[in-house]
Structure 1
Amino acid sequence: MTEARQHNLVKKRTLTTEELVAIQQLTELCNRHDELYMRLDWNLLANRSGAEVSDFLYYQNDELVGYLMAYGFGNDERELTGMVHPAQRRQGIARTLLQTAREEYTGHGVHELLLICEQRSSSGKAFVESVGAHHAFSEHEMILTNFQPRNRFDDRLAFRPADSDDIAALATIMSATEGTLVEVEEPVIQQRIQDPVNHYYIAIFGDNEVGCHEPVGMLRLNEMHDEIGIYSFAVIPDYQGRGYGRQILEEAIYAVRAEQSQKTIMLDVDVTNERAFQLYRSCGFDIKTTYDYCSIALA
Structure 2
Amino acid sequence: MLKLSQLSDILELQHTCEQHDGITLKLNWDMLKHRSPGMQEDFFSYEEGKLVSFLALYGFGRKIEVCGMTHPEYRRQGHFSRLWQQAIGSEAITRMNRVLFNTPHNSIAGQQWVQSHHARLDSTEYSMKLEHGEHSLLGQFEGKEIAQLRRFREEDTDLWARLDADAFGISEFSTIAALASPSRSLTKIMLVIEHSGLAVGKIEIDRQDEHSWIYGFAVDPALRGHGIGRSALRQVALQEHARGNHVWLDVSATNPRALHLYESCGFVQQDIQDYYEYELPQT
Q: Same fold (TM over 0.5)?
A: yes
**Aligned twin of 1:3:** none
**Aligned twin of 1:172:** 162
**Aligned twin of 1:185:** 175
- Contact between 2:57 and 2:92, CA under 8 Å: does it hold in 1? no
* TM-score, structure 1 as length reference: 0.83
Query: Residue type matched to 1:44 in 2?
Result: M
Query: Residue type matched to 2:115 in 1?
Result: E
Query: Residue type matched to 1:265 in 2?
Result: V
Query: Residue type matched to 1:49 in 2?
Result: S
Map 1:195-214; keep pairs closer than 5 Å. 195-206=185-196, 213-214=197-198
| Corresponding residue SS for 2:90 | helix
Map 1:105-116; keep pairs closer than 5 Å. 105=91, 108-116=94-102
Match of 1:69 among 35, 56, 62: 56
Shift in alpha-carbon separation, 1:153–1:177, aligned structure 2, 3 A = farther
User: RMSD of the TM alignment (CA)?
Assistant: 2.4
The answer as to 2:254 corresponding to 1:276 is no
Shift in alpha-carbon separation, 1:272–1:51, aligned structure 2, 3 A = same
For residue 270 of structure 1, report the CA deviation from its aligned partner: 0.4
More off after superposition, 186-195 vs 108-117: 186-195
Unaligned runs of 5+ in 1: 1-13, 207-212
Shift in alpha-carbon separation, 1:60–1:186, aligned structure 2, 3 A = same
| Corresponding residue SS for 1:72 | strand
* TM-score, structure 2 as length reference: 0.87
Shift in alpha-carbon separation, 1:116–1:229, aligned structure 2, 3 A = same
- Contact between 2:88 and 2:94, CA under 8 Å: does it hold in 1? no
Query: In structure 1, how many angstroms separate the alpha carbons of the residues matched to 2:238 and 2:145?
Result: 16
Shift in alpha-carbon separation, 1:51–1:225, aligned structure 2, 3 A = farther
**Aligned twin of 1:216:** 200
**Aligned twin of 2:247:** 265
Larger radius of gyration: 1
Shift in alpha-carbon separation, 1:255–1:107, aligned structure 2, 3 A = closer
Query: In structure 2, how many angstroms separate the alpha carbons of the residues matched to 1:55 and 1:180?
Result: 23
Query: In structure 2, how many angstroms separate the alpha carbons of the residues matched to 1:280 and 1:262?
Result: 20
Match of 2:149 among 145, 154, 159: 159
Match of 1:37 among 17, 24, 27: 24
Shift in alpha-carbon separation, 1:193–1:165, aligned structure 2, 3 A = farther
Map Cα deviations across residues 159-184 of structure 1 (whole Å, 9 max, x no partner). Answer: 22222221122223333444665444
Query: Residue type matched to 2:41 in 1?
Result: S
For residue 193 of structure 1, report the CA deviation from its aligned partner: 9.5
Query: In structure 2, how many angstroms separate the alpha carbons of the residues matched to 1:242 and 1:62?
Result: 56
Unaligned runs of 5+ in 2: none
For residue 243 of structure 1, report the CA deviation from its aligned partner: 1.2
**Aligned twin of 1:26:** 13
Shift in alpha-carbon separation, 1:167–1:60, aligned structure 2, 3 A = same
